[in-house]
Chains A and B, each alone.
Chain A
């Protein structure tokens, strides 16, 4: 089983981004997804900077995948997308069908990210025939559905790697509106990159103080951290190839080391010091946390 580091969801200052990935070189993550997937206005790193970083990390032994924007609304965004899809030497993660269209037309293999809606074997088989080499399961699907899909697929002689989003705030929705700018009463087209103030998003709680969502620009994330650490053995049994961890501004080394221990078969326990959830995996409301003993 490989450990992957998903694309950075937040806007961090340029140097922080470089420092973060520099740190990853010494940690047991095998695959690193790089690029802006949330908001095309963010420019701490331009596309060229991401490509340079990709080349650098690849040279130092990491498998690098170029990740792409999830919500594509403008011609300028399609232009960036085409540039990334034409870059040679890297696998590309498609997060919108515009990317699948580009990559499949060129006949190159690709990764389907979790915002490509693959809910059944028919859709997955179809995309494999278009060139999908790996898919990241949509985050609201359960282990039971994954098991059904992989069993059905096994009967069809189609090969694909399966990746599961396993740690971090869950990406739940994408909007035309920017919720972070809205909080600051800034118009989106003069947002002043205010989301840079929130390196792990801006928490929204219910009026009773319950953590509900994390606002990250145009993306809405879960208010609790999705954590499948103690499900790594089950993922292995199901045939999951990659366990995805989502970049966090602090504590990343510890997260990676705990998942690395889990994949080596060491006993692990989910720490629930901060709001934690795993409901989707058990076909329950996503916000729920089922503790190890109830499994």
Chain B
């Protein structure tokens, strides 16, 4: 299975390459990709440099152009597709049907991957994207159980990539508007969930408060570990009970599923986290490289090593990990 790693910056890309990524995925420095945060991503020139650096070392480069353009922004998405294609990327990761159609007609030689933001959770939807846009691969949303992933894989007309590690979206990606309900941007429209300019932290007598566009997302007692205020991980009041009404802050970690994912024919594992530091990328890619190598050499006796789990726990959101939707009881 191919290891696909996040690179939100040139330093992150370098460590991903050094630690053994098979592919890196990157984005332009604007809202054409779903990790549009200040200080992240690549200008056109940097993209050129990044592609050279990775490809010279045998590592593929995928460019995410995976948000949904509205009419006034359409030309930026079109330009992003043209620019990335002209630079010789190994694949474009797209979600919008208009963008996919444009890329497949204009650059038929460039591989298209369906972004997780394309929200295809079943093989009929995959057939649709494959028939019309000739996608070669799709990234599955993090809402399916491992049994469901197996069902999709058995009938999928394209290669599948699944998330292996990182922050956990518990909503079907591409169909979540919690962020734009409270701010004016969602991943679909603005390329960001909980855009940083709307986030406020405030020490109060009741503890540290995190707010998103004024809305209290959570309140932490002194000394407690505070998480980035995404709405699905906030603590809310439901009929007098205050708890993580939607989901606890936690990271997805599927090391132990490697044999199962390989068995059902998954072609690539994606590590989440273009918004994370080079140190995170280094730690996570190193562990996953070792794990995948070990599985390749001794598939029959593969078991995650405790030190891998410990290393990953350190960089996990909420310092805890879960199998997420892959694991039936979680559903």
**Chain A interface (Cβ within 8 Å of chain B)?**
70-75, 77-78, 81, 96-98, 100-102, 104, 115, 117-123, 126-127, 130, 138-141, 145, 148-149, 152, 170, 172-179, 182-183, 187-189, 202-210, 212-213, 215, 220, 222, 279-280, 283-287
Contact = CB atoms under 8 A, between A and B. Distances in A.
A97 B125 contact: yes
Given A97-B125, A174-B175, A122 B97 contact: yes
Contact of B331 (A118, A176, A212): A176
Interface of B: 68-72, 74, 95-99, 101-102, 119-122, 124-125, 127-129, 131-132, 142-145, 148, 151, 170-172, 174-178, 180-184, 186, 188-189, 213, 215-219, 231-232, 234-239, 241-242, 245-247, 325, 328-331
Given A78-B124, A213-B231, 17 more contacts: A97-B120, A98-B122, A100-B128, A117-B97, A120-B70, A120-B74, A121-B74, A140-B189, A148-B70, A173-B178, A174-B171, A174-B176, A206-B237, A215-B238, A215-B245, A215-B246, A287-B182
B176 A172 contact: yes
Contacts of B215: 206, 210, 212, 287
21 contacts: A71-B121, A101-B127, A121-B74, A121-B98, A122-B102, A126-B98, A138-B188, A140-B186, A145-B71, A170-B181, A176-B170, A176-B330, A177-B246, A177-B331, A178-B331, A182-B246, A183-B239, A202-B238, A205-B238, A220-B171, A220-B178
Nearest to B241: A183
A72 B148 CA distance: 10
Contacts of A172: 176-178, 181
A120 B98 contact: yes
Nearest to A141: B70
A97 B121 CA distance: 10
Given A97-B128, A122-B101, A207-B237, A73 B245 contact: no
Given A172-B177, A174-B175, A72 B122 contact: yes
Ranked 9 nearest A-B pairs via Cβ: A122-B98, A98-B124, A176-B143, A148-B71, A119-B68, A286-B181, A101-B128, A97-B125, A173-B176
A104 B129 CA distance: 13
A183 B241 CA distance: 9
A9 to B, nearest CB: 15
B199 to A, nearest CB: 14
Contacts of B122: 72-73, 77-78, 96, 98
A213 B175 CA distance: 16
Given A98-B125, A140-B180, A204-B238, A177 B247 contact: yes
A174 B142 CA distance: 12
A141 B95 CA distance: 17
B71 A149 contact: yes
A141 B188 CA distance: 10
A178 B186 CA distance: 22
B245 A97 contact: no
Contact of B236 (A77, A102, A205, A279): A205
A185 B328 CA distance: 15
A110 to B, nearest CB: 13
Contacts of B127: 101
Given A78-B122, A123-B96, A97 B144 contact: no
Nearest to A148: B71
B189 to A, nearest CB: 6
A207 B175 contact: no
A122 B94 CA distance: 14
A276 B237 CA distance: 19
A169 B95 CA distance: 27
A54 to B, nearest CB: 23
Contact of B124 (A102, A174, A209): A102
B181 A72 contact: no
B213 A213 contact: no
Contact of A189 (B74, B96, B178, B331): B331
Given A102-B124, A126-B97, A210-B215, A71 B143 contact: yes
A87 to B, nearest CB: 17
Contacts of A286: 177, 180-182
B215 to A, nearest CB: 6
Contacts of B239: 183, 202-203
B7 to A, nearest CB: 26
Contacts of A187: 329, 331
